[in-house]
Structure 1
Amino acid sequence: MGRPKRNLLATAEETLTPPDALSEGQSIARVTKAAGNNLYNADLPSSRPILVELPSRFRSTIWIKRGSYVVVDTKALADRDNKLDGEIINVVRDEREWRKQSYWPAEFAKKSAYVDDADEEESTIGKMPPQESDDES
């Protein structure tokens, strides 16, 4: 039988609010791909890619997509001798609230999707082709 609904809701609600501060060894990382069996490849703000594990309390409760952000504890699995570099301790769900925190890395700043192309020539996408003039008569 599955976990009680109150446990599922408590876990989901826990990920909505960001903590006041991150402790030593914790940092925000961007998930690059799922490696299978609750393992994910993630990028830390200014270092190498890492392999992190999703703990059992998040499994079948929260799904992580490529490009989403997670809080990773790199010291949690230091005593285990394996290929894992850390453990996911929290999942960023309300990204707008998390970005307001002082510990959000500058490398993960939101980029504007709007490109100013005023100095370039005007786009012809969605416009009719120019008409040929019949002044030869």
Structure 2
Amino acid sequence: MPPPRRKVLATAEETMFPPDELAPGQEVARVIKATGNNIYSVQFPSKKTALVELPAKFRSTIWMKRGSFVVVDTNALDTRDNKLEGEIVNIVRDEKAWRKAYFWPKEFVKQPVVGSDDEDDSKTGKMPSSDESDA
């Protein structure tokens, strides 16, 4: 049975805007991949990877894809003895607003899109000749 609509909307709105500051033990991380039942592999700005858990309030409510960003609380699961190193406490949805926050890691800069020579030729309508492609 799906969660009530008001809970879904409240959770979605909670993730839209960045908090004023992150609590001690919380870090922004990039999602690398989903590894199993609500367990995700994330990469911290220090290039360290970790397994983290998605709490029940986000399950079947907010979808994450590879390369998206989350806030991980590394102190949340200290009492449990397992491979998990943290819990996702927030999901970055409006990345543009989050990037303006002072706590956004400098290591997660937005990568510019680099054009190739083929794109330049397509703008002029010129087809690359076989002599140019061999060189």
TM-score scaled by structure 1?
0.84
2:93 is the alignment partner of 1:93: yes
Q: Whose helix proportion is higher, 1 or 2?
A: 2
| Structure 1 residue 124 displacement after superposition | 5.0
Deviation, 1:2, is: 2.8
| AA of the residue aligned to 1:57 | K
Query: What is the deviation of 1:4?
Result: 1.3
Q: What residue number does 1:19 align with?
A: 19
Distance 1:106 1:129, change over 3 A: closer
Are 1:84 and 2:94 matched, yes or no?
no
Using the TM superposition, give the Cα deviation of residue 72 of structure 1 relative to its aligned residue in structure 2, in angstroms.
Answer: 0.2
Q: Residues 127 and 96 from structure 1, CA distance in 2 versus in 1: closer, same or farther, beyond 3 angstroms?
A: same
State the structure with more CA Rg: 1
Give RMSD over aligned pairs: 1.9
Matched, 1:46 2:46: yes
Tell me how far 1:114 sits from its aligned partner. 3.5
Gap runs ≥5 in structure 2: 130-135
The aligned length equals 125
Output the CA distance in 2 between the equivalents of 1:90 and 1:82: 22
Q: Does 1:36 align with 2:36?
A: yes
Report the equivalent of 1:71. Answer: 71
Q: Which residue of 2 aligns with 1:127?
A: 126
- Looking at structure 1, the residues matched to 128 and 114 of structure 2 have their Cα atoms a distance apart, in angstroms, of 26
Q: Which amino acid aligns with 1:8?
A: V
Structure 1 segments, 4+ long, off by >6 Å, are none
Task: Give the TM-score normalised by structure 2.
Answer: 0.85
CA distance in 1, matches of 2:53, 2:67: 16
SS of the residue corresponding to residue 107 of structure 2 reads helix
**Are 1:55 and 2:28 counterparts?**
no
Cα displacement (A) at 1:112 = 1.4
